Amino acid sequence: MNCERCKTAIEKGDEMEYSGQILCEDCYMDALSPARACDPWTVYSAKSFEKHTGGLAITELQTQILEILKETGGIPRPGLLERLKGKITASQLERELATLRHMEKIRAEKRGDQVFVRLW
């Protein structure tokens, strides 16, 4: 027996039925919750959104990033990530930087062979 969605072989007894389809457990869970609560991006933006203050769409984290950039006068991504140690992952940092870039708060600058992130 194969899952009708992802075609994975399902062990006998493990098949799930969802609106007439035989699904594996993964697809079944997926079908039950199309917008998974564990999607880090959804959770993350919701959290960031809560922190919006006074109409300024800048999160605490973004403020922190801007402060670091001000303090250092520009820093390469790995250095920036290091300074935010443990708080966010590299991909989360990318999202924050993309947002800040979009707001024209920061920009990238090539110095030598490294790309620095700096204030606009």
Q: Using the rule CB under 5 A, is 3 a contact of Zn ion?
A: yes
2-38 burial, b at 16+ Cβ within 10 Å, e below that, comes to ebbbeeeebeeeebbeeeeebbbeebbeeeeeeeeee
CB of 14 to Zn ion, least distance (A): 11
CB of 6 to Zn ion, least distance (A): 3
Give the helix/strand (H/E) hosting 45. helix 40-50
| Candidate segments 24-32, 43-51, 56-64, 103-111, binder of Zn ion by CB under 5 A | 24-32
Transcribe 100-117 into DSSP letters: HHHTTSEEEEEETTEEEE
Q: Using the rule CB under 5 A, is 10 a contact of Zn ion?
A: no
x/- track of binding to Zn ion for residues 28-47 (CB under 5 A): --------------------
CB of 36 to Zn ion, least distance (A): 15
> Applying CB under 5 A, which of residues 1, 6, 56, 103 lies at the interface with Zn ion?
6
